[in-house]
Amino acid sequence: MRGRTVGGAALVALACVCASFRVLTAGPPDLSGRWVLVLVMPAAIELPIVGRVELTTIVALLVDIEQDGARLTLRRTYCLQDVRTAPPLVTTVIPDRFIASLAPSSARARLEETPGGWRFVQLPCVEVHGARLLDPACEALPTNALDPRVVDQDGDGHPGLTIHVAIAGILGGNAYVVNRLSTSLEGWILEDGSITGAVQWTSEQTMIGASDPLLLMSYEYLLDPDTAKHFFVLRRIDALDPCRAIHDNLTNLLALPPG
C-alpha cells in the first residue's frame, strides 16, 4: 500500500528555553548552537466506512547548527513524532523505538540579507527510513517485505519500521512501513531570534506488511488546502534533557505563527 503527500508544510511555536541570536560584526546573525526544529504537516485520507480523516503529523528535531559566514550546516536528530487525527476514529501511534532508530541527518542552508531582514533558506533534505536505497531521492520504494532493500530498522523482528494503528475500535494492530520524506525550508529571522516560515515537502510511504491483513487497505494522502496550517519554527533551546522537555510540554509548545 502506498500513500503520498506533497506539502507546503509544517511549523510549530516552541515556548522552550531560548536565547536571542548574537550578531556578527558587519555580517549575518550568529546561528551556531543548539536549536529545536518543529514541523506540523496536515493532510487527510479517505477510508472505507469511516470516511474522511484529517491527520496532522508533528515532528520535532534537535538541530545543531554549524556556521561559516552565511553558510549553515544543520545536524538533525529526531526527538519525537506525533500523529493527531480528527475525528479520533483512527489512531496512529509512533513507538519510541521507531524514533530512536531514525538516523541523524544533515542539511545545508544559507542566510540571505534583504531589505526586510535576514532570510533563512534550507536546501532540500531527503531521508528514507526502513530501507537502504542507492538513490534515496529518486529510487522507487520497496512494496513488499521480501525486497532485499528492506531493513528491520527498529530491530523489533519485523521488516521496515513498525507503527501501531487502530480504526474505529474495530481493527487494530501493527503496520510495517517504509517511508521517504523530503523537506526544504524558507523563513525569516524574527526579533526574538526564532526563525519561522514555509516548508516545501513531499512524503511517500509504502506498507509492506501488517499484523492484521485488513490493515493493508489502500488510501491516498491529500494535502490540506489551508496553507496557513503548513509551517515550521526553529528556536534555541538549552534544556539539559531537551527531548524530555518537548515531550512534557508539547501541547503548550504548539502555536500558529503570528499574523
Q: Answer whether residue 241 is part of any domain.
A: yes
Looking at the structure of the chain, the number of domains it has is 1
pLDDT value of position 245: 83
Note the pLDDT of residue 18: 37
- Report whether 254 contacts 11 (CB < 8 A): no
- 201-257 confidence digits (pLDDT tens): 888 889 999 999 888 876 777 888 888 888 999 999 887 788 888 888 777 666 644
**Using CA atoms, how far apart are residues 173 and 159, in angstroms rounded to an integer?**
15
In a domain, 187, yes or no: yes
pLDDT on residue 24:
43
- pLDDT, tens digit (0-9, with 9 covering 90-100), for 75-114: 999 999 999 898 888 888 999 999 999 999 999 999 999 9
CB 212 within 8 A of CB 20: no
Locus of grid cell 501501531: 164
Give the pLDDT of residue 258: 47
Distance CA 41, CA 224 (A): 9
For residue 258, being part of any structural domain is answered with no
259 in any annotated domain? no
What's residue 8's pLDDT? Answer: 44
What was the pLDDT predicted at 1?
53
More reliable by pLDDT, 42 or 14:
42
Phi, psi of 214 (to 5 degrees): -70, -20
- What pLDDT was estimated at residue 10? 37
The answer to whether residue 256 sits within a structural domain is no
Residue 131 lies in a domain: yes
- Per-residue pLDDT tens for 19-28? 344 444 458 9
How many CB atoms are closer than 10 A to CB 193?
17
Pick from 129, 134, 140: nearest CA to 105: 129
Identify which of 148, 150, 189, 220 has the alpha carbon closest to the alpha carbon of residue 18.
Answer: 189
pLDDT of 19 reads: 38
What is the structure's pLDDT at 253? 64
pLDDT tens-digit profile of 165-209? 998 778 899 999 999 999 999 999 999 899 999 988 888 889 999
Better-predicted residue by pLDDT, 201 or 152 = 152
* Res 49: pLDDT: 74
* pLDDT in the model for residue 40: 86
Between 48 and 95, where is the model more confident?
95
Can you give the pLDDT at residue 97? 93
Cell readout for 107 is 542539511
Would 115 be classed as within a structural domain?
yes
* Containing structural domain, residue 49: 2-249
Distance CA 88, CA 108 (A): 37
Residue 255 lies in a domain: no
